[in-house]
């Protein structure tokens, strides 16, 4: 889970401003000359977001993933065993694989080297034909290498093949010279060295941790493959990592459960081929309440699942019900475990390899191949039934967990029925503390979840009533990481939040009923505020996950300081900004300590702005020398310390505020973090605190 900071543009009309705009001049004609044709790789440079998602950090790292994917395709085809990724100086990256190497012969259609064709033409590669390319592959439909080339200010491709080294260099996707031999070699493989174009990407600094996490996952999904990562950047400590997992996704499950109490010590695992496709599934149950099901097709993470996920869930529910009935655990004719019952506490990884994957959307969020439902359902169902019969004690523990979940679900349904009445969710009976907005259009409305009545009062007075709603929370909400749904809904603060949002919760969550498209957490900038924010993030991640995944959740960024000199006042959101403002006001940052201005300070500051004159001023003889104004620094430890106008100006005005959008980059890593920070196991949390304690500065207690 990550928070992306962006300075907002005024997407929602700022308070007390006019909507009047200058009329646009209409164009008199529209003809053939108005049609623009982009050739070669020009479309990529013109609209990079269409090909890599964004030009921010996510898109920057996607360049590495695309080149690495080509090496993984070689590994899945059985030709590569090792991939090396090295971060070099000046934003350069080098990716090496020991596969067959990109062909360098003349391509019969383009008339130039196949290497140049692959690097400069969209949809050119070994992923489309019926020849010696790839039966199974990931990547961007064959546009990966060419897209990376188009978005790099410099790229060099080297191919080690048949005893020779062939090379070609490019600038912004255009070849500088023809493909030519540059030496001899005894190796096979491809070396791609590139430097992302600084004029295209808003960020050009590669994140070492993000690279490690992604490549570790890819190593799990391609068992036996060796992936090496090295950091050779100046100013960075030289680092080397190597990932190699013979157990594949079975090892991945063990890693995800390393801090959890498991129900079945033996990890279920099946790996089987059927009709040129391959199905690999691993699962294990733990004693917690959350479900993690990660689905992959050709090593591409399918965030929205797809047909392979449907097949898995169908077989899981049917197999556990059949086993429980055969063991006389389920005795009543109509007594069955539901899909929700059998998935609580489940961690599963589904990885399929297929020849012609059909994804929904360029981001490949969902697999659409209908045949994979049948394959997964058949292969997993048979293997899991055998596993239960061969491991009776572990099967009993799994069934026992499912039955307990069934009982809790029925209790939660009763609690939900008594609390979340239909009328309440439709807005007839909204929480008394909710100060709703006048707009009934969700797309233009936003709700601020505020800590305490004091901050809530300021927010209610400072807001724009047309589109901003305020919901104050009393104290700290329940830690939902350790509570079932029925206990959660007994908590008034959580109940009020669920009713205010209008979406219901968990399996009955309906994103179409969301009353506000922006849900903003606004807490104090102190330890208690951070704790409340973490509790709310846990609630949203665990029980309103589609809301987070849909980009509707934000965290407000109130200023930490007000720096004032005379009547001039500026706000600082970081210590660096505070020091810069002090320098701007003519002070030395090292001589100041944060303090709250007193009445005397305010009065003195106001008086200092007025020119001081003696009796001779009237005669025009002389003026007294004005004393320098005092710089006053106020540290805001609570939103309630701001008056309504200050809160609007710094934190709520869409034209000026800074919001951090909460996103989920890696669901498994986010789950692990919440489990460690908010779960019942103390040891991992203690270790985390000891590890990161030295990084904490200006801790307010």
C-alpha closest to that of 82 among 242, 194, 301: 242
Exactly one of 158, 464, 524, 649 is catalytic; name it: 524
Task: Note whether 438 and 466 are within 8 A (CB).
Answer: yes
Element (H, E) at 459: helix 452-462
666: annotated active-site residue: no
Residue 364: how many other CB atoms lie within 10 Å: 22
Task: Note whether 459 and 470 are within 8 A (CB).
Answer: yes
506: annotated active-site residue: no
616: annotated active-site residue: no
For 621, half-sphere exposure in the C-beta direction (CA atoms, 13 angstrom radius) is: 5
Return all residues near 592 (Cβ < 8 A) that are at least 6 apart: 582, 631, 633
C-alpha closest to that of 65 among 148, 167, 156, 152: 148
Task: Note whether 501 and 495 are within 8 A (CB).
Answer: no
Residue at token pair 């196949």: 114
Residue 648, classified by CB atoms within 10 Å of its CB into exposed (0-12), middle (13-18) or buried (19+), is buried
Q: Name 384's bridge partners.
A: none
Exactly one of 340, 526, 577, 594 is catalytic; name it: 526
Decide: helix, strand or coil at residue 154. strand
Exactly one of 506, 528, 594, 608 is catalytic; name it: 528
Residue at token pair 């904490």: 696
528: annotated active-site residue: yes
Compute φ and ψ for 346, nearest 5 degrees: -90, 135
How far apart, in Å, are the Cα atoms of 568 and each of 564, 565, 574, 589, 606?
6, 5, 19, 17, 10
Decide: helix, strand or coil at residue 152. strand
- Ranges of beta strands (E only) in 445-484 are 446-451, 468-473
CA distance 347 to 398: 12
Exactly one of 158, 288, 377, 451 is catalytic; name it: 451
Decide: helix, strand or coil at residue 504. coil
C-alpha closest to that of 166 among 94, 241, 115, 202: 115
For 169, half-sphere exposure in the C-beta direction (CA atoms, 13 angstrom radius) is: 7
Catalytic residues: 451, 524, 526, 528
């Amino acid at each position: 889970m990550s928070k992306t900071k962006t300075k907002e543009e005024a997407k929602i009309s700022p308070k007390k401003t006019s909507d009047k705009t200058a009329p646009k001049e209409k164009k008199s004609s529209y003809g053939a000359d108005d049609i623009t044709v982009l050739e070669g790789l020009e479309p990529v440079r013109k609209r990079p977001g269409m090909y890599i998602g964004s030009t921010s950090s996510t898109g920057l790292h996607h360049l590495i993933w695309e080149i690495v994917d080509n090496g993984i395709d070689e590994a899945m085809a059985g030709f590569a065993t090792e991939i090396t990724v090295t971060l070099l100086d000046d934003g350069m990256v080098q990716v090496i694989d020991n596969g067959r190497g990109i062909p360098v012969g003349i391509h019969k259609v383009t008339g130039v080297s196949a290497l140049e064709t692959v690097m400069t033409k969209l949809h050119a590669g070994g992923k489309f034909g019926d020849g010696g390319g790839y039966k199974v592959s990931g990547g961007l439909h064959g546009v990966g290498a060419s897209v990376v080339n188009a978005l790099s200010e410099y790229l060099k491709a080297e191919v080690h093949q048949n005893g020779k080294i062939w090379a070609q260099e490019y600038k912004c996707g255009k070849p500088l010279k023809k493909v030519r031999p540059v030496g001899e070699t005894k190796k096979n493989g491809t070396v791609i060295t590139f430097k992302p174009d600084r004029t295209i990407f808003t960020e050009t600094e590669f994140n070492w941790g993000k690279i490690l996490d992604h490549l570790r996952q890819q190593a799990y999904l391609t068992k036996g493959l060796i992936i090496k990562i090295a950091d050779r950047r100046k100013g960075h400590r030289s680092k080397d990592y190597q990932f190699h997992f013979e157990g594949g996704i079975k090892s991945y499950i063990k890693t995800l459960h390393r801090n959890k109490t498991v129900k079945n010590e033996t990890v279920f695992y099946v790996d089987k081929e059927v009709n040129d496709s391959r199905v690999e599934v691993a699962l294990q149950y733990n004693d917690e309440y959350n479900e993690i099901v990660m689905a992959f097709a050709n090593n591409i993470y399918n965030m929205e699942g797809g047909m392979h996920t449907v097949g898995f869930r169908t077989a899981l529910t049917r197999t556990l019900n059949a086993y429980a009935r055969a063991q006389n655990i389920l005795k009543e004719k109509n007594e069955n475990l539901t899909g929700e019952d059998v998935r609580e506490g489940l961690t599963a990884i589904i990885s399929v390899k297929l020849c012609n994957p059909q994804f929904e959307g360029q981001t490949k969020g969902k697999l659409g191949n209908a045949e994979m439902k049948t394959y997964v359902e058949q292969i997993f169902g048979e293997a899991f039934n055998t596993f239960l019969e061969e491991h009776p004690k572990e099967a009993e523990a799994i069934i026992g967990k499912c039955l307990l979940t069934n009982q809790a679900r029925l209790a939660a349904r009763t609690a939900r029925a008594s609390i979340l009445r239909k009328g309440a969710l439709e807005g007839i009976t909204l929480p008394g503390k909710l100060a709703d907005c006048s707009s009934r259009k969700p797309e233009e409305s936003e709700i601020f979840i505020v800590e305490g009545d004091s901050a809530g009062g300021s927010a209610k007075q400072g807001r724009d009533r047309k589109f901003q709603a305020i919901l104050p929370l009393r104290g700290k909400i329940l830690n939902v990481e350790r509570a079932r749904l029925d206990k959660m809904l007994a908590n008034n603060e959580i109940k009020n939040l669920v009713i205010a949002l209008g979406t219901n919760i968990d399996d009955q969550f309906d994103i179409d009923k969301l009353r506000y498209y922006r849900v903003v957490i606004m807490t104090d900038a102190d330890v208690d505020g951070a704790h409340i924010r973490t509790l709310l993030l846990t609630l949203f991640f665990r029980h309103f996950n589609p809301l987070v995944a849909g980009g509707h959740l934000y965290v407000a960024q109130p200023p930490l300081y007000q720096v004032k000199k005379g009547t001039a006042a500026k706000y600082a959101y970081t210590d660096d900004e505070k020091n810069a403002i002090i320098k701007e006001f003519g002070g030395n940052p090292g001589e100041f300590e944060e303090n709250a201005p007193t009445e005397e300070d305010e009065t003195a500051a106001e008086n200092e702005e007025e020119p001081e004159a003696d009796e001779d001023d009237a005669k025009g003889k002389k003026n007294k020398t004005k004393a320098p104004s005092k710089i006053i620094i106020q540290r805001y430890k609570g939103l309630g310390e701001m008056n309504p106008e200050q809160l609007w100006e710094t934190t709520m005005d869409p034209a000026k505020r800074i919001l951090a959008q909460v996103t989920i980059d890696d669901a498994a890593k986010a789950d692990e973090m919440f489990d460690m920070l908010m779960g019942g196991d103390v040891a991992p949390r203690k270790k985390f605190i000891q590890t990161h304690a030295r990084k904490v500065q200006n801790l307010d207690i």
